[in-house]
A and B are shown apart, each in its own frame.
Chain A
C-alpha cells in the first residue's frame, strides 16, 4: 500500500486518538470528573492504542516517510505515557508509608544503618569523653569564636537568653532548622553516591563536632541548659542523620559491591530505596525542627518534664523503627 493511501485510510482514527489524548490524557483526576464528549470512549483507548502501535510497525517496515513515522511515533508515545504512567500519590498512602513502609525499609537495610550509627556515635562519645580529661583540645577542633558563641548560647547565668538561642523568635528558628537540617540530611544521602565516602565524612564530622561542643560545655559546667535544650529533638534529629547516612552507604555500597547485578541496576535499586528513605528522613527532620523550635527552647518547663518527654520520644522512635509495619502486606 502506498503511503498516501495508508494515511488516507487511517487518518480519521489517528485524529480521534490525538483529540482523546489531548482532552482526556493530560490529567487523570480531571478526566474522572468530566464527561467524555469525544468520539472515542475511554474503554476503546487501549485497543486503539495497540492498533496505532501496529500502524507504526507497518509504517516502519514499509519505509514510509519519516513524517508519517514520526507522527505515529508521537501518537504512540502519548498513548504509552497515558497507559503506563505511575498512579498519582494518595494521602492514605502517605500514612501507610510513614507507619509501615518506612520502618520496614529501615529494617531491611539494618546492616548499613548500624554501620552508619557506629560511625556517627563512636567519634561523638570519644570526643565527649576525651574533652573531660583534655579540655584544651576543643580549640584544635572548633574555632575560638565559635566556642565563645556556644558558651554564650548556653550560659546558665544569663537569664536573658532562651535555651540555646542567641535571639530570634521560634518561627525564625523553625525556618532555619528546616532549611539547614533537612538540607544536611539530604546531602548526606546524596554524598553516599561517591562510593559511600561522602556519607561517611558527613557522619564522622558531625559526630566529632557534636561530641566536641557537648564535651566542652559539659566540662565547663554548662551541662544543664545544654541537655535541657537538646534532649527534646535529639531522638528525631540524630536518628534521622544516621538513617540518611545509612541510605547513602547503601547507595555507595551498590556501586562498590553490586553483587549479581550490573552496577547500573544495583544503583537504580538503591536509588529507589534511598528516595523513599529520604522522604522518611525529611519527615523526621521536620518533626525535629518543630520540636527544636517550639519545645526545646521553652525555659519555663522543668528539667524533669523535659527529660521524661525525651525518654518517651526515644522509646517512640525505637519502637516505631523496630516494630512498626510488621506483618503488614506489601502494597507494591
Chain B
C-alpha cells in the first residue's frame, strides 16, 4: 500500500503503528542540525582563537565532538531527537518502536560516512527511496527507524447537530471512515466536502450538500448521539 506505516506487534498483542519519515523532512532536519553545528564551531573558534595554540587544540577537539558525538549523544540522551529532528517533529526509534539505545545511535551515526558517499547523501537517498520504511543504510544496520512523532489531534464531534440512521449495517472500516469524515471535513473546503460525500452516494442516497449533511448525521449517530 501507499502508507508508510510500519506495524510492530508489541508483547501486549496490539499493533504499534510507526509512521516512517521520508527523505525530505529528514534532509531538512539535517540542514537545521548542520546550521546549529556550524554555529557552535564558529562561536567556539572565536573564543578559542584568544587562547593561541592551546586554543587551536581545543578547537579541533570541539570539531571532533560536534562532528561525531553531537548526533550520537543527542539521539541517545534526548529520546531520539536532535534539535533539527525536534523542529521537524521527527524521532529515531528502534525497529520495535522502543526508544533508541546508545549502541544503535552509535551505529547509525557512524555509518553516516557510508550514506554520504559519493556526495550529498546519495547512497542514503537511494536506500531511503528503495526501502519500504525509508531507512538509510545506517538505519538498516542499527535496526532503527525515523518516525513522525507527536501528531496530536483532539477528539471533535461532527459540527452539525443532526442524527441520521444509516440505511444498512456498516462494516467497522466504513464506520471509521464516516466518523473520520465528521471530524475532519470542517477543515476542508465546501466543494471538497461535497466531492468526498458524493463518493458515499450509495449509502447516503443524496448528492452535494445534502450528502454532506447526511454523512455528518451518520457520524453523529455512530458516535452515539441520539
List A265-280 residues whose CB lies under 8 Å from chain B: 267-268, 270-272, 274-276, 278-279
Task: Say whether B79 contacts A81, CB under 8 Å.
Answer: yes
Q: Does A66 contact B (CB under 8 A)?
A: yes
Task: Say whether A3 contacts B224, CB under 8 Å.
Answer: yes
Of A56, A65, A173, A279, chain B has the most CB atoms within 10 Å of the CB of A65
In the bound complex, how far is the Cα of B19 from the Cα of A216, in angstroms? 58
The one of A53, A174, A175 that contacts B14, using a Cβ cutoff of 8 Å = A53
List A181-212 residues whose CB lies under 8 Å from chain B: 182-183, 186-187, 189-191, 193-194, 198
Which B residues lie within 8 Å of A57 (CB)? 13-14
- Contact A264:B10 (CB < 8 A) given known A64-B179, A86-B101, A191-B113: no
Which B residues lie within 8 Å of A26 (CB)? 79
Task: Say whether A271 contacts B141, CB under 8 Å.
Answer: yes
Interface membership of chain B positions 140-162, coded 1 if the CB is closer than 8 angstroms to chain A and 0 otherwise: 11110000001111111100000
> 9 closest pairs, A vs B, by CB?
A2-B224, A63-B172, A175-B57, A175-B60, A86-B101, A271-B141, A65-B179, A171-B57, A190-B113
Task: Say whether A178 contacts B60, CB under 8 Å.
Answer: yes
Q: How large is the interface on A (under 10, 10 to 19, 20 to 34, 35 or more residues)?
A: 35 or more
Interface membership of chain A positions 60-79, coded 1 if the CB is closer than 8 angstroms to chain B and 0 otherwise: 11111111111101101100
Which A residues lie within 8 Å of B56 (CB)? 168, 171-172, 175
In the bound complex, how far is the Cα of B13 from the Cα of A66, in angstroms? 19
Task: Say whether B141 contacts A175, CB under 8 Å.
Answer: no
- Contact A183:B155 (CB < 8 A) given known A193-B114, A276-B103: no
Q: How large is the interface on B (under 10, 10 to 19, 20 to 34, 35 or more residues)?
A: 35 or more
Q: Does A260 contact B (CB under 8 A)?
A: no
- Contact A193:B172 (CB < 8 A) given known A5-B224, A67-B153, A251-B141: no
Of B14, B79, B173, chain A has the most CB atoms within 10 Å of the CB of B14
Which A residues lie within 8 Å of B102 (CB)? 86, 89
Interface of chain A: mostly helix, strand, loop or mixed: helix
Q: Does A43 contact B (CB under 8 A)?
A: no
Q: Does A30 contact B (CB under 8 A)?
A: no
Q: Does B2 contact A (CB under 8 A)?
A: no
Task: Say whether A74 contacts B53, CB under 8 Å.
Answer: no
Q: Does A45 contact B (CB under 8 A)?
A: no
Task: Say whether A80 contacts B10, CB under 8 Å.
Answer: yes
In the bound complex, how far is the Cα of B140 from the Cα of A270, in angstroms? 11
Q: Does B63 contact A (CB under 8 A)?
A: yes
In the bound complex, how far is the Cα of B176 from the Cα of A68, in angstroms? 10
- Contact A4:B113 (CB < 8 A) given known A71-B155, A175-B59, A251-B141: no
